[in-house]
Amino acid sequence: MADKQGDSGSESDSTDEPVVGNVNKFAVVPPNYTGKPRKGHLIFDACFESGNLGRVDYITETEYDLFIRPDTCNPRFRVWFNFIVENVKSDQRVIFNIVNFSKTKSLYRDGMTPMIKSTSRPKWVRIPSKYVYYYRCPDHRKNYVMSFAFVFDREEDVYQFAYCYPYSYTRLQNYLDNLERRNYDFFTRELLCLSVQQRRLDLITIASPNICAKENDKLKTILITARVHPGETPASFVCQGIIDFLVSNHPIAKILRDHLVFKIVPMLNPDGVYLGNYRCSLMGFDLNRHWQEPSPWAHPTLYATKNLLMELDRNEKHDMDFYIDLHAHSTLMNGFMYGNIYDDPERYERQSVFPKLLCSNAEDFSLTNTNFNRDAVKAGTGRRTLGSCLDESHCYTLEVSFFSYQTNTTGQSMPYTEEAYMKLGRNVARTFLDYYKLVGYISIKPSSGLTPKPSSQLSRSQEKYHSSEKSSSEPLFKSQGENVSANKSDKKTDRLGRKSS
């Protein structure tokens, strides 16, 4: 989430006890219990890539308080969670309370629920909303708590819970390795720099060799970045949707490659992603507040990306036309954009064109939530900083909800899936054709109204990186989950019953 001053809700800098580091195969047993954990003594683990769970407190045999580990070197941000539970008993009923969110405003108020998968059912699904409660809790300083009831149905399974669909650094590297092996003549992958922990900052260029060989014409260049905030995983799915489309055989993709140069930095904060942070880098920096003067040692990925932009802007061969930074939003629905306010009225009017065209192509894109501002608090963001540095470029933040969208036609609320996020990315890519036809830069057909089917864009080798979408016919939820609260004490029933208004 990159913009809108009030969108983050209140943030708390303190918890009852500091939470440092992730739990590592931590067995939660009853008080005064000794000996090895028995079946049903839950074992929690978050010591894996993009994992986050800092502490677990035993409340009763059916209830546990869970504490999010704050971002490294920054206790303010406690939102993202991603953890594993094992050593369960068949039909074991539990209530998990996540008690130390740093935000009060949340899509949990609007029906958002945690994600769940298990070893035998590897497709991520949302826990049904009737099992999830979001409320002020008197037992935790009246902070907001998200509680959910769940039934572990298979003893042999390992269960994983997450705030949203995970998209790890390793997943990105595997995806890019696969693309690189195809030896497309229009696709190049470069190492822009290494992060503080020596992870890759990849730069992807997608453009036809023919356009790059032109000597006299300036190349219309588009830069897209994602995951400056590591917990905003939907941004990676949107970014992959853009790349998938641009490298596909779809006629629109071929026209775009023949006329435009796409530069894509798919993961600006690889260390934060790997560590399981929500908003910050390894050193505790919110990188999207440091675009004005990034440090080569503290913010190396930002420093390298900004230098790339400035070089492209100075390069007589390139015409830097668009900069779009991909984010996810924790309090609003749909996809939407933030843009800048400029003193030049013509430039201000021009930048409203692309969001309007995108709205006509993407049923989940909202013009109502789209706005243009000059908020001083956001002066260090990519959109604001580059909007002032790149005199002729259109600079946007593209936001997409962590939870759901309402369609432009029916108004029906639809939870986002991985595929729906990637579809928004494909629609962003297609909209560039409409824009450049409108301004007269591209004068040939087809129209972006030719909606591509996902199967027409992805080869078999690409599709394997959508393996998390594989479904199982057996659900993760049993009807007796509705009765979990009946096993709790009166005090805990009261806690769970306090829904947010």
- What residues are labeled active site? 399
Parallel, antiparallel, or unpaired: how do β-strands 200-206 and 82-86 relate? unpaired
Would you state the structure tokens that stand for residue 303, as one six-digit string? 């420093």
Q: With contact defined as beta carbons under 8 Å apart, do 252 and 437 qualify?
A: no
Cα 184 to Cα 188, 189, 260, 283, 422: the distances in Å are 8, 11, 16, 37, 21
d(CA 362, CA 421): 11
Q: With contact defined as beta carbons under 8 Å apart, do 304 and 193 qualify?
A: yes
- Class of residue 153 by CB neighbours under 10 A (exposed 0-12, middle 13-18, buried 19+): buried
Cα 467 to Cα 121, 369, 460, 464: the distances in Å are 12, 32, 11, 5
Least Cα distance to 42 among 21, 19, 58 occurs for 58
Cα 368 to Cα 61, 84, 108: the distances in Å are 47, 38, 21
Max CA pair span of the chain = 79
DSSP code at position 365: B
Q: With contact defined as beta carbons under 8 Å apart, do 493 and 485 qualify?
A: yes
Residue tagged 């998390």 (tokens): 468
- Measured CA angle at 337 (ends 335, 340), to 5 deg: 175
Q: With contact defined as beta carbons under 8 Å apart, do 259 and 432 qualify?
A: no
Cα 58 to Cα 28, 33, 55, 136, 305: the distances in Å are 6, 12, 10, 20, 46
**Omega before 296 cis (within 30°)?**
no
d(CA 11, CA 398): 23
Q: Which SS3 state, helix, strand or coil, does residue 109 take?
A: helix
Collect all residues with Cβ–Cβ distance below 8 Å to 493 and sequence separation of at least 6: 485
d(CA 161, CA 166): 10
d(CA 412, CA 310): 43
